[in-house]
């Protein structure tokens, strides 16, 4: 028994009706890995004082740590109602909701925490990252909040990582890479720095560099499912299918409910033209995360590879409803419509794709075809000429 543990035991004997020693005892037990005993201590504290904020917060977090996330959230939500001005409690609730991917609720809790303590860089960083995860519409606010947190704590690697990730998501890849490179180079840096750096490089089509960064992330944290999924996807894109399979299959065995791993494995199988096996992987990713636009886009792409264009069109449309600026989905929707001889719709879809990726020759060529088929010969000819002009340059990345 440690000295602190002994003091807590003594305090419990001296003041058996005081909840504080039980909370202290629980924290000591939890730090020693005795989670069940810690939970029992927190519950005992709450029998002595039903609205003890510290006991409620500790119990909720301990339950979430044990894997009982829904129960932990319920405890924290009840506590937050009783103590709406408690910034630490609201932050704990927000962080737990983020881990459960309940992002709108998380943002509300974290905003309440920021309102109570506006100068906490850690809470600002959590709020900014929760907003970032909600998609492109929330990115400007997310970046503004994360930049404020970064100004307050410029040496904090996690804040730099979150800001870099938001900048990369917004297409500000040079700024993102500068931040993420610095964060990843710090001694003892979080593996997320390498993961987000790899993501930023992949957006730019710098696949070999992205592979190196993703490898560093996996090496730093072997059970990092998102990094394994990214690495496998990068291997698949660069034709390294054996390496992709060796990366994703063991990770999927350890994390069978991770949607990103199912999506990555589907990509690997799709690139091997094992469509009968790839389809269920994409579908499972969508069961686990119904709003997973990348998995839906990959599933739709697989359908086009099988010439199932009519089935692919509504899938691409769902992707674009969620992510209107998705170049790959926009271009592939146009191509599917072109194959279905729906030339006017194909022209409209491909024109939007050309606006999103103006230097991609393949998109201009397909748009030219669609326009000519739709009876706009002169406009079509101009697009085909533009495609030929661009073929000597570096095209924007888009699917085909």
The Cα–Cα gap between 105 and 231 comes to 31
CATH architecture of 291-400: Alpha Horseshoe (1.25)
SS3 assignment for 160-193:
HHHHHHHHHHCCCHHHHHHHHHHHHHCCCCCHHH
Give the whole-angstrom CA distance, residue 142 versus residue 137: 10
Comparison of pLDDT for 69 and 134, the residue scoring more: 69
Q: How many CA atoms lie within 13 A of 340 on its CB side?
A: 19
Rounded to the nearest 10 degrees, what angle do helices 327-339 and 309-322 cross at?
A: 150
More confident residue, 323 or 229: 229
If one compares 360 and 341, the residue with the highest pLDDT of the two is 341
Domains 1-111 and 291-400 share a fold: yes
The string of pLDDT tens digits covering residues 210-258 is 898 889 889 888 889 999 999 999 999 899 999 999 999 999 999 999 9
The SS3 of residue 306 is coil
Domain boundaries, the chain: 1-111, 291-400
Q: Is the Cα dihedral 152, 143, 101, 193 positive or negative?
A: negative
> Is the per-residue pLDDT at 1 higher than 60?
no
Distance, CA of 379 to CA of 396 (rounded, Å): 22
Cα–Cα distances (Å) from 76 to 122, 130, 147, in that order, read 19, 18, 29
Please determine, for residue 396, whether its predicted confidence score (pLDDT) is greater than 60: no
Phi first, then psi, for residue 157 (nearest 5°) are -65, -35
Q: Tell me if 120 sits within 8 A of 89, measured CB to CB.
A: no
Kindly report, residue by residue over 262-297, the tens digit of the pLDDT: 999 999 999 999 999 999 999 999 999 888 888 999
Contacts of 348 (CB under 8 A, 6+ apart): none
Is the whole-model pTM more than 0.85?
A: no
Q: What pLDDT score was predicted for residue 100?
A: 82
- pLDDT of 265 reads 96
Predicted pLDDT at 2: 62
pLDDT of 400 strictly over 70: no
Per CATH, the homologous superfamily of domain 1-111 is Tetratricopeptide repeat domain (1.25.40.10)
The CA distances from residue 328 to 304, 333, 399, 400, in Å, are: 13, 8, 4, 7
**Mean confidence (pLDDT) of the chain:** 87
Angle between helices 121-132 and 139-152 (to 10 degrees): 160
Reading the block at residue 52, the tokens are: 């003890």
């Amino acid at each position: 028994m440690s000295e602190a543990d002994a003091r807590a035991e003594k305090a419990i004997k001296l003041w058996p009706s005081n909840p504080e020693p039980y909370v202290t005892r629980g924290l000591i037990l939890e730090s020693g890995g005795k989670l069940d005993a810690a939970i029992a201590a927190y519950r005992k504290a709450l029998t002595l004082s039903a609205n003890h904020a510290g006991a409620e917060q500790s119990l909720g977090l301990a339950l979430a740590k044990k894997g009982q996330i829904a129960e932990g959230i319920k405890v924290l939500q009840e506590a937050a109602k009783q103590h709406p001005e408690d910034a630490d409690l609201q932050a704990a609730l927000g962080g737990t909701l983020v881990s459960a991917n309940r992002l709108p609720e998380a943002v509300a809790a974290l905003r309440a925490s920021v309102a109570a303590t506006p100068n906490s860089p850690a809470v600002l960083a959590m709020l900014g990252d929760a907003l970032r995860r909600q998609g492109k519409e929330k990115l400007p606010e997310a970046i503004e909040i994360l930049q404020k947190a970064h100004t307050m704590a410029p040496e904090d690697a996690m804040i730099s990582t979150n800001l870099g990730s938001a900048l990369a998501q917004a297409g500000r890849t040079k700024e993102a890479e500068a931040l993420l490179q610095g964060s990843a180079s710090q001694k003892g840096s979080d593996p997320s720095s390498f993961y987000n750096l790899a993501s930023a490089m992949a957006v730019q089509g710098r696949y070999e560099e992205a592979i190196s960064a993703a490898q560093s992330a996996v090496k730093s944290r072997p059970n990092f499912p998102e990094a394994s999924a990214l690495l496998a996807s990068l291997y698949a894109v660069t034709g390294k299918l054996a390496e992709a399979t060796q990366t994703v299959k063991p990770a999927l065995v350890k994390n069978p409910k991770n949607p990103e791993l199912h999506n990555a494995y589907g990509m690997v199988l799709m690139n091997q033209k094992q469509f009968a096996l790839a389809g269920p992987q994409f579908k499972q990713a969508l069961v686990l995360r119904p709003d997973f636009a990348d998995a839906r886009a990959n599933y739709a792409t697989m359908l086009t590879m099988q010439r199932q264009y009519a089935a692919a069109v509504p899938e691409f449309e769902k992707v674009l409803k969620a992510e209107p600026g998705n170049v790959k989905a926009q271009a592939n929707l146009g191509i599917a419509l072109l194959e279905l001889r729906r030339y006017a719709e194909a022209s409209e879809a491909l024109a939007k794709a050309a606006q999103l990726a103006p230097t991609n020759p393949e998109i201009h060529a397909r748009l030219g075809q669609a326009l000519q088929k739709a009876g706009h010969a002169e406009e079509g000819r101009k697009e085909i000429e533009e495609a030929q002009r661009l073929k000597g340059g570096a095209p924007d990345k888009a699917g085909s």
